[in-house]
Homo-oligomer: A and B are copies of this chain.
C-alpha cells in the first residue's frame, strides 16, 4: 500500500491550474486570467482565476480550492453514510470555459481528491474527476479528437478504464427532465482508490494533463469560423441546459453550496449570458436539429 500524500496532490493541482491557464490564455490571444484568492471561515480557501471578454473566451473560470472541515455535508454522505461525522479535506481544480463563438464548444474539467479522517481509524480517501464537452454545433472530427485524447489518457491504466469512465460520464451528465445528455461526454470518475494511492494519483494526473490536449486544438480549429446571430441565439438557448444541469444535478455544485464554499467561485461555471425560450424546437434538417439527432445521443466515438 503506497503512502497517502495530500501535499503532493496539492502541488500537482496548483501547477495544473497554472499550466491550463497559460495555455488557454495563449490560445485566446487576447484575454488574461484575473486571480482572486479567498479563504473560508470554516477552513481552507482557494485561488479562483477568471477570464472574461477575451478574444475567444467569453467567460472562463479555472478554480483551485482546498477546503476542510469537521463534518462532511449531506451531499457528500448521502451515498456513504459511514462517512457522516468524519472530518474532511477536499481539494481540486475545476474549470468551465464558455467561448463567444458558437462553433467553439463549452468545456468542463475537474480533478479532485477527498480525504475523510477519524481519530484511531484509517483515513478514507478517493480521487475523482474527468472532462466533458458541450458543443452547440457538432463536428465529428472534434468529438473524435476529444474522445481519442480521453482514451489515450486512460490507456496506460488498463483497457477497461476508458469505456467505464466514458459510460459514467454519459450517465452523469444527463438531464433527466429533458431526457437529454448535456453534451458529447468524455470521462467521469469518482471514488477511485482501489489501485492504491500512487496509481490512482497517476491516473488522475494523466486525465488532468489530457484536458488541455483535448480542448485546445478544438478551440484553435473553430475560433475563427464566422457565425451569425442565428448561431449566437442558439448558443444562448443551449446554455440554458448548462445552467439547468449545474443547479439541479451537479454534485460538485451542490456540495460546494452546501458546504459553505465560495458562491462566486462555485457559480463561475454558469454562462455569462443565457436565454430560455418556451417550448422551442429546432426545425428538422437544420444544423441545430443535427446537434440533437447526431450528437446529443449516447454514441461510441472511437
Contacts and interface: CB of A to CB of B under 8 A. Distances in A.
Interface of A: 36, 50, 52, 59, 61, 176-178, 236, 240, 243-244, 247-248, 254, 257, 263-264, 266-268, 270-279
Give me the 8 closest cross-chain CB pairs, A-B, nearest first.
Answer: A247-B247, A270-B276, A177-B257, A264-B279, A50-B278, A177-B263, A274-B274, A273-B275
Identical subunits present: 2
B248 A243 contact: no
A52 B278 contact: yes
Nearest to A280: B264
Contact of A278 (B61, B240, B277): B61
B243 A279 contact: no
Nearest to A51: B278
18 contacts: A36-B279, A50-B279, A59-B276, A59-B278, A61-B278, A177-B263, A236-B273, A240-B270, A244-B247, A248-B257, A267-B276, A268-B278, A270-B276, A272-B275, A273-B274, A273-B275, A274-B275, A274-B276
A270 B272 CA distance: 16
A235 B206 CA distance: 43
A202 to B, nearest CB: 33
Given A61-B278, A273-B273, A274-B275, 14 more contacts: A59-B276, A59-B278, A177-B257, A177-B266, A243-B243, A244-B247, A248-B248, A248-B257, A264-B279, A270-B276, A272-B275, A272-B276, A272-B277, A273-B274
A175 to B, nearest CB: 9
Contacts of A240: 270
A159 B270 CA distance: 44
Contacts of A243: 243, 247, 274
